[in-house]
Amino acid sequence: MTQEATGAAEAVAEIEVLAKEGKSYPPPDEFKAQALVTDDSMYRAAEEDFEGFWLDQAKELVEWFKEPTKSLEWDPPHCTWFADGELNISYNCLDKHVEAGRGDKVAYHFVPEPIEEEPRAITFAELKDEVCRFANGLKELGVKKGDRVGIYMGMVPELPIAMLACSRIGAPHVVVFGGFSAESLGERMNSTGASVMITQDEARRKGGLIPLKHIADQAVEQHAPSIEKMVVVRRTGGDVPMKDGRDLWWHDLVEGKSTEFEPERMNAEDVLYLLHTSGTTAKPKAAQHTTGGYLAYVAFTHKYVFDIHDDDVWWCAADVGWVTGHSYIVYGPLNNGTTGVLYEGDPTYPDVDRHWAIIEQYKVTQYYTAPTLIRAFIKSGPEPVQRHDLSSLKLLGTVGEPINPEAWLWYWRYVGGERCPVVDTWWQTETGGILISALPGVTTLKPGSATMPLPGVKPAILDEKGKEVPQAQGGFLVLKKPWPGIFRTLWDDDERYVSNYFSKYGPDTYFVGDGARQDDDGYYWLLGRIDDVMNVSGHRLSTIELESALVAHEAVAEAAAAAAPDDLTGQTPLCFVILKSGYEPSDELAKELREWVGEQIGKIARPKAVIFGADLPKTRSGKIMRRLLKDIAEGKELGDTTTLRDPDIVEELKERADELLGRSGASA
Ligand code: WTA
């Protein structure tokens, strides 16, 4: 064993001992002494006057062109918030701070992936100028209020600039994560009717290049005829073909443009953006977020969950392409005038300590990441962390999936130096912002629990029939009351909004899709998805998306997918495939299918293994028994197989799966 590996193993052993103690962690005195909230007054205020509480927050945290007098108006399953208010989000994120004399404050420390490239500090004033210039450029291209604008980029400053320019005009943006395939991108552009799309020549990733423009070209040519103009940021200088009449360079478009652009007066309920997420059907759906309620909610949760002070340096290490980046890299922090880090690249490039080096260099005070990354850090041991002075850190956060107590404790001890509260924040693309989380100056933490609902948030845990389950028993998580950040519907598909989220328990109960339980102290423990949605490195992926991708391959007759547990990514897709006649199972074909899925959906969807079988486990009526595929994927003892048409099939699949995943028999 190398020295580093020993360190890692020792740390894990220590942490296991700690986890067994099952201790809880009240706010450290030093933290509490400076915290924004240290008592239950906010919880009480929301309890006593729910609507008044949110209206006060909205007025305090957001600057309105016309202040709202209305708070929640609820006509289940639909709601509006602050509906008579008028505002502009980019005004709140930029002008508000410049006008208050804070234009010189840094909005983003942009850290390029190549270590030899100069980082860049961008002030609020500079950001405002760039946003206005680009908004003028978009206007020249004909973009106006209500038009959808597609964005497919890496983590470069032009990404938030483009989003803010859209919000200045009132044009909803549709950001697609830069890891998605041409097909996924094209589908998302087409279904939202975007006519302008913004991309970059290439993105940097782990020392390599991702050909974003090339993928965007394919997306437009094969799937999204609605795109008329493509604006391209020159990031790497790579040679990319530009199509005459359709493509233009960002730098040419903004050349000579004014740094003034009158922000559009938006109604609180006007659409701010659409963002796709996986559900239980093959087609991803686009959550529709609005202007006033969303901004108030992300501002509130950013400020109080992360205990943000004026001189803090905030780092949300997500990608802007996901909701976490929308809410906590762009809108929440900028509205709150917070200095943030925007890092372009991979956490392990050029070395596993890259994040710690950045925290040390910029004296980051709050760091927010996903459990999957923490588990990766644990593998390389505490040494890379200990190379750096992380004493600037005051608070740590996690999001995206349940965090196991061991990962929580490791993070708390080795990254936070036993001094920083770790807030485990539970939320979804649909919820717009955090719903269940500690308030770090108030809540006693329990490793592995997202703790309690935030003020004004009303979860419950129900059984199949809609009755609240007794404490300590698991059930379906629901939300009994709207909050300002809730999505208002699914783009162009209100029917699906109702059937997906508000049909199981009726129109006034939002069905989350996660299992949860409450312990004796009332703490919430999230148990993962209860539907056919898996969570790979904190990213949602539905089994049906995978299956549709597979059956689109010429060799595949039938396919089914299930989630296998994975040390690093939480879950990983496992695919069962029946080949068409004329095709033979082989390692090459398995590899080809894995790559195929990666190309169809995006790399995160690439299955860990493809298992060929003569058939899928089906009932006599031909229904696939997903429960058995789940047992196989999870390495469990097989459940009841007596109703199967051919019980041998499932035994064969199981053997093959255990072999491919390196499991010995039924233990896992
Ligand atoms: C899961 C990401 C446990 C959950 C912001 C949810 C979590 C889905 C947590 C939403 C957490 C997110 N603990 N599970 N702290 N945070 N999840 O839409 O299953 O990408 O339904 O939003 O991730 O994923 P989404």
Rounded CA separation 563/99 (Å): 51
Burial class from Cβ neighbours inside 10 Å (0-12, 13-18, 19+) for residue 335 reads buried
pLDDT tops 90 at residue 623: no
How many residues in total does the chain contain? 668
Q: How confident is the model at residue 527 (pLDDT cuts 50, 70, 90)?
A: confident
Whether 256 is covered by a domain: the verdict is yes
Ligand 1 proximity of 319 Cβ (cutoff 6 Å): no
Residue 1 is predicted with a pLDDT of 41
Whether 536 is covered by a domain: the verdict is yes
More confident position, 38 or 280: 38
pLDDT tops 70 at residue 464: yes
Whether 641 is covered by a domain: the verdict is yes
Which whole number is the average pLDDT over 366-389?
Answer: 94
CATH number where 638 lies: 3.30.300.30
The amino acid present at 36, given as its one-letter code, is L
DSSP class of 443: P
Tell me the backbone φ, ψ of residue 627, rounded to 5 degrees. Answer: -55, -40
Q: How confident is the model at residue 261 (pLDDT cuts 50, 70, 90)?
A: very high
Pick from 320, 322, 321: which is nearest to 341 by CA?
Answer: 320
Structural domain count, the chain: 2
Whether 403 is covered by a domain: the verdict is no
Residues 6+ apart with CB under 8 A from 29: none
Whether 145 is covered by a domain: the verdict is yes
Nearest residue (CA) to ligand 1, atom 5: 428
From the CA of 425, how far away is ligand 1's center (Å)? 8
Pick from 228, 265, 64, 259: which is nearest to 143 by CA?
Answer: 228
Q: Which residue among 264, 287, 322 closes a domain?
A: 264
Give the CA angle between residues 424, 429, 432 to the nearest 5°: 80
Whether 499 is covered by a domain: the verdict is no
Ligand 1 proximity of 425 Cβ (cutoff 6 Å): yes
From the CA of 249, how far away is ligand 1's center (Å)? 37
Q: Which residue among 264, 280, 305 closes a domain?
A: 264
From the CA of 426, how far away is ligand 1's center (Å)? 6
Among 175, 177, 401, residue to substitute to test ligand 1 (most atoms within 8 Å of Cβ): 401
Share of the chain above pLDDT 90, in %: 81
Which whole number is the average pLDDT over 581-590?
Answer: 93
Whether 566 is covered by a domain: the verdict is yes
What is the separation, in whole angstroms, between the first and last Cα of the chain? 25
Residues 6+ apart with CB under 8 A from 528: 401, 402, 514, 515, 535
What domain range includes position 229? Answer: 135-264
From the CA of 643, how far away is ligand 1's center (Å)? 35
Q: Which residues pair with 398 in a beta bridge?
A: 369, 424
From the CA of 399, how far away is ligand 1's center (Å)? 7
pLDDT tens digits for range 608-620: 999 999 888 887 7
Q: Which residue among 234, 264, 294 closes a domain?
A: 264
Pick from 315, 294, 324: which is nearest to 540 by CA?
Answer: 324
Whether 462 is covered by a domain: the verdict is no
pLDDT tens digits for range 334-346: 999 999 999 999 9
DSSP class of 118: P
Which whole number is the average pLDDT over 2-20?
Answer: 78
Which whole number is the average pLDDT over 250-259?
Answer: 98
Helix (H) or strand (E) holding 173: strand 173-175
CATH number where 155 lies: 3.40.50.980
